[in-house]
Amino acid sequence: MISGFDSIACSKQTLRRFFLEKRRESDYLSRKREAEAGIYRNLFILPEFKNASNLLLFASTKFEISTDTIFSRFISDEKSVYFPKTFGNGKMDFFKTVELTSLSVGNFSVREPKETEKYEIKDININERRKIGNDICIVPALSFDKNGYRIGYGGGYYDRFLALFGGVKIGLCLNDFISDKIPSDVFDIRVDIIVTEKGVIRVE
């Protein structure tokens, strides 16, 4: 008999495979490109995005919502953008980046920053965490549900980082990649806002 946590893991693996296959559909890239304009529009009008001083952003692959446009929009306002770099010990840190051309392919064939100015996360008790209104993190995922849970890529890097991050967590997703319910456990960290081409979901 499979234990509770194993059942959750199996369910996540099944969902992960499903959405990875969904990304391989012949019309997916064209649908993604069409949806991106609406996603950017809905993201850029968010008060959290407009008022943010620091943006933690991931370097997208061709199958993800392109973050290059988001970087250009944010950096043009002379604000700070940080990209993640993963390390062999399961840790992930974010480093300030002023040009996309400075990113180079690193672990998992993902573009990563040079180890320049590091984003200093505040070490606060998760049970006493307060929002830091000037910091936002765009969180990658294959799918989100309306409760803010996500299907990531299975490494756990973001959940470990977000457990201490006190800012606003935002997910970007095609509307037809929203799940009814994603299995979760005590280690899964929810996002606060999900942005699709159809609108904005604020997690309660």
All residues at 6 or more sequence positions from 127 whose CB lies less than 8 Å from its CB, including other chains: none
**Cβ–Cβ < 8 Å for 54, 79:** yes
Containing structural domain, residue 34: 4-202
Sign of CA dihedral 181, 202, 135, 164: negative
List, for residues 161-199, the tens digit of each pLDDT value.
999 998 999 999 999 999 989 999 999 999 999 999 999
> What pLDDT band is residue 89 in, cutting at 50, 70 and 90?
confident
**pLDDT value of residue 123:** 55
Domain count for the chain: 1
List the CATH number of the domain containing 189: 3.40.50.10420
**pLDDT value of residue 77:** 87
Question: Which among 44, 39, 42 has a CA at the least distance from the CA of 55?
Answer: 44
**pTM exceeding 0.75:** yes
Q: What angle do CA 105, 190, 167 make, to 5 degrees?
A: 75
List, for residues 95-139, the tens digit of each pLDDT value.
999 999 999 999 899 999 999 999 998 655 544 444 445 799 999
